[in-house]
C-alpha cells in the first residue's frame, strides 16, 4: 500500500485489499483520506459511492485481492481505478424495480464525469474520473 502524500501536480497512490466484505469500507476510507490529504474538497461523497460500486463488483470477481489506485494525472482531475483478475469487462445492466443487482454502473455513470474499463495482462481495470 502506498499512502497518499500531498501532491504536486501529479500524484498516485494505491492500496491492495483482500477480496472480502471489508474491502468496500476500507476503499471508501482510503478515498476519503486521499482526497483530504490532497486538498480536494467537495468530491468525497460521490467518489466514495463510486468506489463502493467498483470495489463491490471487483470483489465478486476476485480470487484473493483487488487493487484500488487513486491518481491526479493532471490538474483538475481525480481518477479511481479498480483492478481485479477477471478478464470480463463490465456491462451496464438494466435492472428491474425489484432486482437486487444491476444498478452499480448506472450509479457510477451518474456520479462520475467519465468511466470505462479495459483489459490488462492479468485481468481488467474499471475506472472513474472526476473533475476537481
Q: What is the pLDDT of residues 58-101, one digit of tens each?
A: 998 888 999 999 999 988 999 999 999 999 998 777 766 665 56
Residue 105 lies in a domain: yes
The per-residue pLDDT of the chain, averaged, comes to: 89
Exposed (0-12), middle (13-18) or buried (19+): which is 98, by Cβ within 10 Å?
exposed
Query: Does residue 6 fall inside a structural domain?
Result: no
Q: Which of 56, 29, 58, 24 is nearest to 44 (CA)?
A: 29
Domain of 20 in residue numbering reads as 11-131
pLDDT at 8 over 60: no
Number of domains in the chain: 1
Give me the percent of the chain exceeding a pLDDT of 70: 86
Q: Looking at the domain assignment, is residue 2 inside a domain?
A: no
3-state secondary structure 62-116: CCCEEEEEEEECCCCEEEEEEEECCCCCCCCCCCCCCCCCCCHHHHHHHHCCEEE
Please state which of the ranges 4-13, 32-41, 66-75, 121-130 shows the lowest mean pLDDT. Answer: 4-13
Task: Determine which of 27-36, 40-49, 87-96, 105-114 has the lowest per-residue pLDDT on average.
Answer: 87-96
Domain at 107, CATH number:
3.30.565.10
Q: CA 95 to CA 67: how far, in whole Å?
A: 27
- 20 located within any domain: yes
pLDDT above 70 for 117: yes
Are the beta carbons of 108 and 80 closer than 8 angstroms?
Answer: no
In a domain, 3, yes or no: no
DSSP 117: E
Amino acid at each position: 500500500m502506498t499512502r497518499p502524500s500531498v501532491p504536486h501536480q501529479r500524484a498516485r497512490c494505491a492500496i491492495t485489499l483482500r477480496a472480502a466484505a471489508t474491502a468496500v469500507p476500507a476503499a471508501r476510507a482510503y478515498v476519503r483520506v486521499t482526497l483530504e490529504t490532497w486538498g480536494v474538497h467537495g468530491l468525497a461523497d460521490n467518489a466514495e459511492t463510486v468506489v463502493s460500486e467498483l470495489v463491490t463488483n471487483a470483489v465478486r470477481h476476485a480470487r484473493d485481492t483487488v487493487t484500488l489506485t487513486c491518481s491526479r494525472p493532471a490538474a483538475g482531475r481525480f481518477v479511481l481505478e479498480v483492478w481485479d483478475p477477471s478478464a470480463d469487462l463490465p456491462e451496464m445492466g438494466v435492472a428491474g424495480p425489484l432486482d437486487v443487482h444491476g444498478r452499480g454502473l448506472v450509479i457510477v455513470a451518474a456520479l462520475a464525469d467519465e468511466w470505462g474499463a479495459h483489459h490488462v495482462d492479468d485481468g481488467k481495470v474499471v475506472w472513474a474520473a472526476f473533475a476537481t
